[in-house]
Each structure stands twice: as C-alpha cells, then as structure tokens.
Amino acid sequence: MALQQAPDLTSLSNMNIARPAQAAVRNRRPLSLLNRLFGETRQRAALDPLYRAIVAAGRDPAWYRDGAVPDTLDGRFDMIAALTALVLLRIEAGGEAGRGPAVLLTEIFIDDMDGTLRQIGIGDYVVGKHVGRMVSALGGRLSAFRPAYAGDAGFEGPARRNIFHESPPSAEALAFVAARLAHFSETLKAASLPALLDGALPGP
C-alpha cells in the first residue's frame, strides 16, 4: 500500500494562523491610535489649569502699572510668553517626567495663540505664519531666559530685549519687571513638579 502523502501544512498555517494574527494586529492599530489620541487629550486637559494660571499671571495689572509693560496685545503676549518660558524651564528641569508635559503645554500655548489671532480677525491664509512667529518667539525666550533661570545671569538683559524690545520706559520699570521675573523663577524652582502640573502656579 502506498503511503499517503503528508499534507502541506505551510499554506494552512499561513491562512489559518498567521493571517488571523496579522488581522488582529491591524484591528488593534486603530484602537491603539484612538487610545493614544484620547490619552493625549486627557493629558492636555489636565494641564489647562496650569496654562490658565500662567495667562492670569501674565495679565496681572502690576506688570503694566508698575512695570510699564505696554498694555497692548503685543505687550500681553510678551508677558505670557515670558512666564510660559520660565514655567517650561522649570518643567524641563524635572527630566523625563517633564518631557511630555512640556510638549503638551507648548501645544496649548500654540492653540491659544491661534484662537486669539482668529478672534481678532486674522484669516486662515496668514494665521499660520503669525502662529509660527509666535512659536519662534517662545523658543527665543526659552533661550534668552535660560541663563537667568539657571542663576548665571540677571533678568535685566532678557527683560529689556524680550519684553521692552530694547526700549524700557525707565530704569525703574525695567528693574521692577526684572526683579519680579527673578522672584517668579525662584518660586518655580521651589515648587513641586506634580503640584505645578496640577495648576498650583506660584505668584510672580
């Protein structure tokens, strides 16, 4: 009697084992993407109290009354960008624990600037360029304030360049703003990172 030829299990394996497994992986990908997107949305929402506190601190009348920062859209942007930069430097000092929150806080800043520009009538065609300049300005402030935050320089120089644009109205106004930024920097260093990320922003 002739021996029955063993069936070729290769195609069977490919069809009934490998393919369903690959299909399962493909089916999991959208779910993983949705989980990641919703996770990031929740994380961003958790940082909203911190960003709102930064904006409130940047709108504190003392900056404009005693510090003579121009009480204009540009002046308010300069203050909010300066305080956001200092908060980002504090979060950055948290190492790996601060990496994600720093990115998300920057995204919230960008979205806020985008919304503000649209509210004042900047159209879709040019709003991207304006937002790009604002993001670049935030990056510039991170670089400008980093030595002062680290204690390697004073705040007078970066305040003069990035808030008063080389034209402070008086030495007293510049000194007031620089001293207040220095105090804010020190209180940020003393703040707990988890508490800060929860929105417990120390006052300037």
Burial class (CB in 10 A: 0-12, 13-18, 19+), 19: exposed
pTM of the model: 0.77
pLDDT in 10s for each residue of the chain, 204 residues: 444 443 333 333 332 323 333 333 344 445 454 445 445 677 789 999 999 999 999 999 999 999 999 999 899 999 999 999 999 999 999 999 999 999 999 999 988 887 776 776 666 666 667 677 888 889 999 999 999 999 999 999 999 999 999 999 999 999 999 999 999 999 999 999 999 999 999 988
Q: Name the strand (E) or helix (H) holding 31.
A: helix 19-58
Going by the DSSP 8-state scheme, the letter that residue 5 receives in this structure is P
Q: How far is CA 1 from the centre of its chain?
A: 78
